[in-house]
Amino acid sequence: MSILAGSNVLITGGTGSFGKKCAEYLFRHAPPRRLVIFSRDEQKHVTMTRDNFPAAQYPQIRYFVGDVRDPSRLRRALQGIDYVIHAAAMKHVDVAEYNPTECIRTNIGGAENLIEACLDVGVKKLVALSTDKAAAPVNLYGATKLCSDKLFVAANSLAGENGTRFAVVRYGNVLGSNGSVVPFFQKECSKGVLPITSPDMTRFIITLEQGVEFVLQSFERMSGGEVFVPKIPSTTILDIAKAVAPQCQTRIVGIRPGEKLHECMVPADEARQTLEFDDHYVIQPTLRYWTSKPPAYLESGRPCSEGFNYSSENNHDWLTVTQLRQLIATHCPAVTEDAAARKAA
């Protein structure tokens, strides 16, 4: 992450859980000269500067109230910026299904606005956060993220050889983040029964800090046009319930509209252009690389076999209930077995 140290960085959606953890990580490992937090939620800006990053202690931070739907505001915020982390999105599956046009405007239109603004002001590199739901999508949220991923990959053609480089990071469910199942189970455990969509449902799990690390490492690895996928463990929804509240019973409620039974991050059709590394995969651009010199990692990457797919169901790495409970205690400290027991009492 040496290229980020002493540089000017902007995070869209910067007041969210990822943005706050990313800012914390940057100041600890690669302090930027200037960090712009771009978000449309005024109250979250106030909370972030009051509770997380006091102005006297972090004079490098600038808070820009703005929406990725607003191209002129984006161009203003991006003046002098070297690197962009794009985390702004509408991400709740059920909300997107009910408000499809709003999701399209933010996730697709916002991506297009950001690309144009980065090209206009001369940003060096952008890494966009995607989701496992963008691989073979079955819901609108996943479809909009797949579309935005394609826009960011193709944006390298607009930039030319010496222009802005764009890449994408795709990973699974973030433990304890807004909308994840862990805090939901925490709230429900006081009732003594946890609603389970399906006992067979599996998901990838990544911690917030692991996600931040992977995104920032991608700035060093990228050549332009890649989709980076970390190797992360899987778990079942039933095991998460056992880890959060072992004293609770479970009730099967069925899979919600737009949900998958298993999540996939590298579908078989993308395996043809995917390289495997020790701790991650790289889905290469289908067109070409946009630099005159091929990426150095091409020499060490191993081509995936025909028909390979990386899904939460066929993963080789699985978390036990004990390991899940340890992760929850570390990364979601409010959700522990003792706390759940007290709530149930």
Q: How far is CA 33 from the centre of its chain?
A: 24
Residues ≥6 apart with Cβ < 8 Å to 317: 231, 232, 233, 234
Q: Does residue 256 lie within any of the structural domains?
A: no
Give the per-residue pLDDT at 217. 96
State the pLDDT at residue 296: 81
- Given a contact cutoff of 8 angstroms between Cβ atoms, the answer to whether 129 and 215 are in contact is yes
Are 198 and 255 in contact, with CB atoms under 8 Å apart? Answer: yes
pLDDT tens string 53-105: 999 999 999 999 999 999 999 999 999 999 999 999 999 888 999 999 999 99
242 lies in some domain: no
Q: What is the pLDDT of residue 332?
A: 82
Enumerate the active-site residues.
133
User: Using CA atoms, how far apart are residues 136 and 265, in angstroms rounded to an integer?
Assistant: 9
- CA angle, residues 91, 96, 97, in degrees to nearest 5: 140
**Count of structural domains, the chain:** 1
The pTM score is 0.92
CATH number for position 145: 3.40.50.720
121 in a structural domain: yes
Confidence (pLDDT) at 186: 86
Could you list the residue range(s) of the whole structural domain that residue 161 is in? 8-173+205-232+264-311
CA–CA gap between residue 159 and residue 47 (Å, rounded): 37
200 is a domain residue: no
Which residues in the chain come in under a pLDDT of 70?
1, 179, 288-290, 333-345
- Tell me, what's the pLDDT at 1? 58
Residue 67 belongs to a domain = yes
Contacts of 181 (CB under 8 A, 6+ apart): 173, 237, 240
